[in-house]
């Protein structure tokens, strides 16, 4: 005997969840400022043109966004014909990350990697819904001590990172709204990538 599943009608709970999420996400979209996207893209151009390395860091869902951005900066922007952007997600080297966390503490997992490489033409991008992650704060403090440009992409109140970084893309939102904020951050980094993909090499006249 074959059992047949029944399609049940949608619940009002699902309607409320979807409606509330979409409303909050729509509100966040109105808070994305093109001028902040432009400043972030310009900072990345400066790093690219000077041969610097872009470090990107985040925790949890933001670690996935960091990986996505590193991939797009290193791979997708090459289509513009410009020099490649050297980008590294600090969340991806699991062996090194866990060794630092185990031996030196979780707040050292990003700064401990950066101190092996950090140079004056580099750039650090940190992504955080709360803006208060201790390991990101330490990474920014280290970068700033070395004169490295820092960009923070945050939500909620912006937290400590909003005040600490050189460049800020802040999407103010209710505290705890991780889903909509992290989804909006994915759009933010995609917009930055699109700006860099639009670059074209300068054609010099031979006449």
CB 37 within 8 A of CB 167: no
Q: What is the pLDDT of residues 21-67, one digit of tens each?
A: 999 999 999 999 999 999 999 999 999 999 999 999 999 999 999 99
Q: At what angle do helices 34-49 and 178-197 cross, to 10 degrees?
A: 50
d(CA 158, CA 155) in angstroms, rounded, equals 5
Cα distance from N-terminal residue to C-terminal residue, the chain: 83
Q: What is the pLDDT of residues 137-180, one digit of tens each?
A: 999 999 999 999 999 999 999 999 999 999 999 999 999 999 99
pTM: 0.91
3 pLDDT more than 70: no
How does residue 82 score in pLDDT terms, banded at 50, 70 and 90? confident
| pLDDT given at position 207 | 47
Two structure tokens written together for 33? 């400022």
Task: Domain ranges for the chain, please list them.
Answer: 34-197
Spacing of C-alpha 94 from chain mean position: 18
**Chosen CATH of 34-197 out of 3.30.70.2190, 3.40.50.10490, 3.20.20.110, 3.10.129.10:** 3.40.50.10490
Mean pLDDT score across all residues of the chain: 93
Two structure tokens written together for 158? 């912006």
Count H helices, E strands: the chain? 8, 5
């Amino acid at each position: 005997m074959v059992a047949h599943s029944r399609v049940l009608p949608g619940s009002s709970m699902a309607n409320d969840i979807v409606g509330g999420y979409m409303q909050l996400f729509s509100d966040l979209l109105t808070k994305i400022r093109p001028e902040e996207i432009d400043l972030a893209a310009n900072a990345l151009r400066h790093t690219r043109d000077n041969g610097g390395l872009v470090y990107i860091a985040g925790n949890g869902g933001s670690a996935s966004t960091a990986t996505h951005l590193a991939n797009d900066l290193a791979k997708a922007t090459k289509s513009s014909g410009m020099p490649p952007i050297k980008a590294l997600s600090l969340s991806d080297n699991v062996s090194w990350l866990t060794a630092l966390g185990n031996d030196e503490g979780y707040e050292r997992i990003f700064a401990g990697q950066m101190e092996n490489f950090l140079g004056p033409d580099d750039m650090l991008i940190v992504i955080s819904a709360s803006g208060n992650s201790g390991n990101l704060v330490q990474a920014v403090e280290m970068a700033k001590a070395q004169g490295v440009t820092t960009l923070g992409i945050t939500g909620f109140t912006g937290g400590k990172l909003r005040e600490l970084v050189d460049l800020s893309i802040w999407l103010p939102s209710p505290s705890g709204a991780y889903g909509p904020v992290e989804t909006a951050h994915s759009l933010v980094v995609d917009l930055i990538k699109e700006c860099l993909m639009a670059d074209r090499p300068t054609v010099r006249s031979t006449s």
